[in-house]
Amino acid sequence: MRQFLRRLVRKHPEAGTITLVVLISLLFTGLTQGLWLSVGNLQSLSQLTAVLAIMSFGEAMVIATGEIDISVGSTFGIGALVFLGLAPILGSGPALIAALLSGFLIGILNGIFVALVGIPSLIVTLGTLFLFQGVAYAATSGFSFAATDTVRKEFIYNSVGGGNLGSLNGAVWWVAAILMVLHLVVFETPVGNRILAVGGDAASSYSRGVNVGRIKFGMFLVSGLLASFAGVLDAAYIGYADGSFGASMELSAIAAAVLGGCHLTGGRISLLGTLLGAFVLRGIQSFLIILGVQPQWYILVLGLIVVFASLTDRTLTRLALRR
């Protein structure tokens, strides 16, 4: 039995998160007399989860290489603002491309300073977090951008979160597709092998001929791209965005990844786990809203979860690696 548990934890870091998902689902459903499990709540929960998960996937990819990207909150906001700001003028297609490009550029900026200059990613991305938050506030200067009625009728707008496919928001379909692609890339391709190797032991990877800088650079691009795309998905769903859009989302993204079994030291990640982690966080958030608890308490819960998750994470790893 112990042996089985060890193997399970070693091969499937998300096993703990799955258990957590089942437990809190039961608990919240019971405590809210079934309201939490209602179709309406699950529909909004799935949209919220999808948006957070897409952002957290990027975070997980950066964490896989042993770095961290705190700037995703601002990138999310910039992506949303660029999309909604340009869509009424250029149409939602070009606006989408511009939004993704902005995330890509933030990723390049982070990548240059981390991978080429060699500054710790915590410092670099903390800097870009504030930098682009500042840009977002300055660009909106107290106003908000909103989608016009013409834009809301456009096909692209509706396929990037503005509308539903079946009874689920577009973002839910996007998260499924992105999860599949990233999972295959990380675990089934040579690039994925090198990404995990860099996070596990950068010096050893380098000595085996892996271009450590290029891999890290690439993951910051992926993170920037996904964060801005998540911003677009959420902006199209809500229909308007202001300078505070995405504020403190970076905390949730990191928490979702850690909760999902990604090791902050790098080299071990789970993308399915990250999706489940995002679900748990959003589930708690919606539970608190249903209970009528002030939303500020969510931040406190978030902090507790990160501390608790990293503790369990260490214990589980020790268990798995003991012979």
Partner 1 sequence: MPNSSTDSRKPLISMRNVSLSYGNFQALSDVSVDFYQGELVGLVGDNGAGKTTLIRIVSGIIAPNSGEVYFDGERITKFYPKKAIDLGLECIQQTIGLCDNLSVGRNYFLGREPTRRIFGLPFLDKKKMREASAKVIHDFGLRATVDVDDEVALLSGGEKQTFKIARAVTFRNRVIIMDEPTNHLSVRERGRVNELAVQLKQQGLLVIYITHDIFQIHRIADRIVILENGRKVTDIPRDAMSAEALEGIIRDGAKASAVQRSRNPKEEP
How far apart CA 204 and CA 221 sit, in angstroms, is 24
Closest distance of CB 320 from partner 1, Å: 9
| Among residues 117, 138, 203, 300, the one that binds partner 1 under rule CB under 8 A | 203
Q: Is 208 among the residues that bind partner 1 (CB under 8 A)?
A: yes
Helix/strand number for the chain, H first, E second: 15, 4
Q: What is the DSSP string of 143-186?
A: -EEE--HHHHHSHHHIIIIISEETTEEHHHHHHHHHHHHHHHHH
Q: Is 241 helix (H, G, I), strand (E, B) or coil?
A: strand
Distance of CA 144 to the CA centre of its chain: 24
Closest distance of CB 270 from partner 1, Å: 13
Segment contacting partner 1 (CB under 8 A): 138-146, 166-174, 207-215, 225-233?
A: 207-215
Q: Is 10 among the residues that bind partner 1 (CB under 8 A)?
A: yes
Applying CB under 8 A, the site for partner 1 has a residue count of 26
How far apart CA 147 and CA 170 sit, in angstroms, is 17
Q: Is 190 among the residues that bind partner 1 (CB under 8 A)?
A: yes
When the beta carbons of 167 and 189 are compared against partner 1, the nearer one is: 189
| Among residues 18, 206, 238, 301, the one that binds partner 1 under rule CB under 8 A | 206
Q: Is 319 among the residues that bind partner 1 (CB under 8 A)?
A: no
How far apart CA 46 and CA 59 sit, in angstroms, is 19
| Among residues 35, 201, 247, 272, the one that binds partner 1 under rule CB under 8 A | 201
How far apart CA 130 and CA 68 sit, in angstroms, is 15
Question: Side chain identity at 65, as an amino acid letter?
Answer: T
- Judged by CB under 8 A, the chain residues 47 through 66 that form the site for partner 1 are none
Phi-psi region of 139 (alpha: psi -120 to 50; beta: other; left: phi over 0): alpha
When the beta carbons of 166 and 209 are compared against partner 1, the nearer one is: 209
When the beta carbons of 31 and 201 are compared against partner 1, the nearer one is: 201
Which positions from 251 to 280 touch partner 1 by CB under 8 A, shown as an x/- string? ----------------xx------------
Q: Is 216 among the residues that bind partner 1 (CB under 8 A)?
A: no
CB-based burial label for 4 (10 Å; 0-12, 13-18, 19+) = exposed
Closest distance of CB 10 from partner 1, Å: 7
Q: Is 118 among the residues that bind partner 1 (CB under 8 A)?
A: no
Q: Is 315 among the residues that bind partner 1 (CB under 8 A)?
A: no
Segment contacting partner 1 (CB under 8 A): 48-56, 135-143, 203-211, 254-262?
A: 203-211
**Count of CB atoms within 10 A of residue 111's CB?**
26
How far apart CA 85 and CA 75 sit, in angstroms, is 15
| Interface positions with partner 1 (CB under 8 A) | 10, 184, 188-190, 192-194, 196-197, 199-201, 203-211, 267-268, 321, 323
